[in-house]
């Protein structure tokens, strides 16, 4: 795609090296003369931002590992020591912890970009699949990393997730024990989690190299989703993409810095400042924000499906939600790549994005909580009135707790009434659980039904023949 090399070594040293290891030629052809579509928008800067995030996590992680102690007796205190005593330890620790969130923020924008502009479609299937592999590895790495400070959420999060593995029939339990190095989360678990947390980012690095290699073979997609046809459609990577990437990175870094310097704990959970204690379960166990949508999908399956019990069903749904991304290139049947020209796909995509946010919200809520409640909880109490006849009184309150308090208060104020309370009548409630179930259904329907069917039935808008034409059309429309 990048065409014949345009690198021309000038100095003697460059010529000498080029004849032995053409590494400058590789860098030049990949990041200087590389032809990029001329219509790329700022969504195409997130690949560079992600590369920056990955390197930052690796560098800060290596420094943290110099001071961190992977033992259940010292892990929590060693992180505190890094934050308080190690020179600039607070900065390194904040960058690493906030950096994980920033990494996921960037990867989600990168993935939604790919979805909207059809970057997963031929000939970029392998590029997309490698991205999915990176995403899976990121989830694993983040989960392992979160256990390391050995706070309450670290310990209990690890307990919940390893228990999930145990739900897999036959092999689940042995794998769980093998991973934990025993029968519960303990010192051996922390040791192996630390070891794997150190290893996986380098695996991500390796897969990222393949990802970018695949990108350079197929060439970049673009907002119009049409292939590069002539030199008119492209501009050289440097200075155009380089400057745009650097500007976007600077803006991203400003936001990153606001979190690091002003609210480093805003994205975490307060309970992780309590040392992990196997004897005290926190009132709520929630993962980090970036895993909440998948946690909501896991909890949405509260019913058995034939021989599959609800627990295993939840695990299948959760992994299925990621697995479906791998086969996406073959699910979307549309001949038009970019949703810019697909009016119906755009609408369903918008609902999909909202559904993902809503799933994230559900993941952080108590499943029994009402999203919508029509009316109040009520209870009829029959009692003996002052004249000896039987009378009734109806109590109503927004929550069962408030109702019980109201009834008890009345009974205490009227000791002789000897009231008999009927069963509590519940109002119609639309719970977080039901909401998550509907959203989960939409999540899967989007990939398995909407995209395959829509691709065959939708009439797209007229797609420009070339990228150059798409740009000219855009500027003509802007001028009008
Ligand atoms: C460590 C994480 C990742 C890094 C460093 C990374 C890096 C990059 C870079 C540098 C590009 C080219 C610039 C751009 O299009 O923004 C790119 C493109 C792309 N990435 Fe990633 N990526 C990562 C994760 C992912 C994930 C998780 C997916 C999807 C599941 C993905 C899918 C894609 C696709 C489809 C393209 C081609 C986009 C196009 O040309 O339209 N990447 N990536």
8-state DSSP, 449: I
**Same domain assignment for residues 16 and 106:** no
Which of 409, 347, 415, 417 lies closest to 389, judged by CA? 417
**Same domain assignment for residues 364 and 395:** no
**Same domain assignment for residues 288 and 406:** no
Residue at 223 is within a domain: yes
Task: Specify the pLDDT at position 470.
Answer: 86
* pLDDT over threshold 60, residue 461: yes
**Same domain assignment for residues 24 and 138:** no
* pLDDT over threshold 90, residue 442: yes
Segment holding 370, helix H or strand E: strand 370-374
Helix, strand, coil: what percent of the chain each, to 5?
65, 10, 30
Task: Specify the pLDDT at position 414.
Answer: 85
Task: Specify the pLDDT at position 165.
Answer: 85
* Stretch 18-23: mean pLDDT: 97
Q: Which of 131, 201, 240 to mutate to test the pocket of ligand 1 (most atoms within 8 A of CB)?
A: 131
Task: Specify the pLDDT at position 2.
Answer: 55
Task: Specify the pLDDT at position 478.
Answer: 58
* pLDDT over threshold 80, residue 332: yes
Chain segment 272-311, per-residue pLDDT in tens = 999 999 999 999 899 999 999 999 999 999 999 999 999 9
Residue at 466 is within a domain: no
Q: Which of 111, 214, 215 to mutate to test the pocket of ligand 1 (most atoms within 8 A of CB)?
A: 215
**Same domain assignment for residues 89 and 238:** yes
Residue at 239 is within a domain: yes
Provide, rounded to the nearest whole percent, the portion of the chain with pLDDT above 90: 90
Residue at 242 is within a domain: yes
Question: Ligand 1 centroid vs 296 CA: distance in angstroms?
Answer: 26
Residue at 475 is within a domain: no
**Same domain assignment for residues 381 and 360:** no
pLDDT band for position 1 (cuts 50, 70, 90): very low
**Same domain assignment for residues 164 and 282:** yes
Q: Is 228 in the pocket of ligand 1 (CB under 6 A)?
A: no
Chain segment 346-404, per-residue pLDDT in tens = 999 999 999 999 999 999 999 999 999 999 999 999 988 888 888 999 999 999 999 99
Burial class (CB in 10 A: 0-12, 13-18, 19+), 106: buried
How much is the mean pLDDT over the chain? 95
Question: Ligand 1 centroid vs 145 CA: distance in angstroms?
Answer: 23
Q: Which ligand 1 atom minimizes the distance to the CA of 48?
A: 10
Distance between CA atoms of residues 141 and 54, nearest Å: 12
Residue at 463 is within a domain: no
**Does 157 or 2 have the greater pLDDT score?**
157
**Same domain assignment for residues 404 and 444:** no
Distance between CA atoms of residues 140 and 161, nearest Å: 11
Distance between CA atoms of residues 210 and 54, nearest Å: 15
Chain segment 308-329, per-residue pLDDT in tens = 999 999 999 999 999 999 999 9
Q: What is the CATH number of the domain that holds 273?
A: 1.20.810.10
**Same domain assignment for residues 268 and 397:** no
**Same domain assignment for residues 52 and 131:** yes
Provide, rounded to the nearest whole percent, the portion of the chain with pLDDT above 70: 98
Residue at 471 is within a domain: no
8-state DSSP, 424: P
Task: Specify the pLDDT at position 246.
Answer: 98
Chain segment 225-263, per-residue pLDDT in tens = 999 999 999 999 999 999 999 999 999 999 999 999 999
* Stretch 146-171: mean pLDDT: 93
3-class state of residue 431 by DSSP: strand
pTM for this entry: 0.93
**Same domain assignment for residues 103 and 3:** no
Residue at 147 is within a domain: yes
Q: Is 46 in the pocket of ligand 1 (CB under 6 A)?
A: yes
Chain segment 27-80, per-residue pLDDT in tens = 999 999 999 999 999 999 999 999 999 999 999 999 999 999 999 999 999 999
Q: Is 337 in the pocket of ligand 1 (CB under 6 A)?
A: no
pLDDT band for position 472 (cuts 50, 70, 90): confident
State the DSSP string of 317-366.
HHHHHHHHHHTHHHH---S---GGG-HHHHHHHHHHHHHHHHHHHHHTS-
* pLDDT over threshold 90, residue 164: no
Which of 138, 148, 137, 116 lies closest to 290, judged by CA? 138
pLDDT band for position 480 (cuts 50, 70, 90): low
Distance between CA atoms of residues 470 and 68, nearest Å: 53
Task: Specify the pLDDT at position 138.
Answer: 98
Q: Is 381 in the pocket of ligand 1 (CB under 6 A)?
A: no
Q: Is 121 in the pocket of ligand 1 (CB under 6 A)?
A: no
Most confident range (mean pLDDT) of 387-391, 408-412, 426-430 is 426-430
State the sign of the Cα–Cα–Cα–Cα dihedral 110, 200, 139, 252.
negative
Q: Is 119 in the pocket of ligand 1 (CB under 6 A)?
A: yes
Q: Whose CA is nearest to atom 12 of ligand 1?
A: 47
Task: Specify the pLDDT at position 8.
Answer: 95
Task: Specify the pLDDT at position 473.
Answer: 75
Chain segment 176-219, per-residue pLDDT in tens = 999 999 999 999 999 999 999 999 999 999 999 999 999 999 99
* Stretch 112-124: mean pLDDT: 98
Domain that holds residue 265: 34-369+435-457
**Same domain assignment for residues 330 and 442:** yes
- Domain count along the chain: 3
Q: Whose CA is nearest to atom 5 of ligand 1?
A: 51
């Amino acid at each position: 795609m990048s065409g014949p090399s345009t690198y021309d070594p000038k100095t003697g040293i460059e010529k000498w090296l080029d004849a032995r290891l053409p590494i400058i030629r590789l860098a030049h052809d990949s990041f200087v003369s590389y032809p990029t579509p001329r219509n790329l928008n700022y969504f195409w800067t997130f690949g560079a931002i992600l590369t920056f995030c990955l390197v930052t996590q690796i560098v800060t992680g290596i420094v943290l590992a110099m001071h961190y102690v992977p033992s259940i007796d010292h892990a929590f205190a060693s992180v505190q020591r890094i934050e308080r005593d190690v020179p600039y330890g607070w900065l390194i620790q904040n960058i690493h912890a906030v950096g994980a969130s920033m990494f996921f923020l960037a990867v989600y924008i990168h993935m939604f970009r790919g979805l909207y502009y059809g970057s997963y479609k031929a000939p970029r299937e392998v590029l997309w699949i490698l991205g999915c592999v990176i995403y899976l590895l990121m989830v694993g790495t983040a989960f392992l990393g979160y256990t390391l400070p050995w706070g309450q959420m670290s310990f209990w999060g690890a307990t919940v997730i390893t228990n999930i593995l145990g739900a897999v029939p036959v092999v689940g339990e042995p794998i769980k024990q093998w991973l934990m190095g025993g029968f519960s989360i303990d010192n051996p678990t922390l040791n192996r989690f630390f070891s794997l947390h150190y290893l996986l980012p380098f695996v991500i690095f390796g897969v990222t190299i393949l990802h970018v290699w695949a990108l350079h073979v197929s060439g970049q997609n673009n907002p119009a989703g049409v292939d590069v046809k002539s030199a008119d459609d492209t501009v050289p990577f440097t200075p155009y993409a380089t400057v745009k990437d650097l500007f976007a990175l600077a803006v991203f870094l400003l936001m990153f810095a606001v979190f690091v310097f002003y609210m480093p704990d805003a994205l975490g959970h307060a309970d992780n400042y309590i040392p992990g204690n196997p004897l005290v379960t926190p009132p709520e166990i929630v993962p980090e924000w970036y895993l909440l949508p998948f946690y909501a999908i896991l909890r949405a399956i509260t019913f058995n499906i034939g021989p599959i019990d609800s627990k295993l069903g939840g695990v299948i749904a959760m992994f299925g939600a990621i697995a479906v991304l791998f086969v996406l290139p073959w699910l979307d049947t549309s001949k038009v790549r970019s949703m810019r020209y697909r009016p119906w796909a755009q609408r369903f995509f918008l609902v999909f994005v909202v559904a993902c946010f809503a799933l994230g919200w559900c993941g952080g809520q108590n499943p029994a909580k009402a999203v919508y409640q029509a009316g109040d909880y009520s209870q009829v109490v029959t009692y003996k009135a002052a004249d000896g006849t039987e009378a009734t009184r109806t109590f109503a309150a927004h929550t069962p707790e408030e109702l019980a308090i109201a009834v008890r208060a009345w009974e205490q104020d009227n000791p002789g009434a000897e009231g008999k309370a009927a069963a509590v009548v519940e109002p119609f409630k639309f719970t977080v659980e039901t909401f998550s179930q509907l959203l989960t259904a939409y999540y899967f329907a989007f990939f398995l039904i909407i995209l395959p069917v829509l691709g065959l039935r939708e009439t797209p808008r007229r797609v420009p023949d070339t990228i150059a034409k798409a740009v000219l059309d855009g500027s003509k429309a802007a001028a009008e």
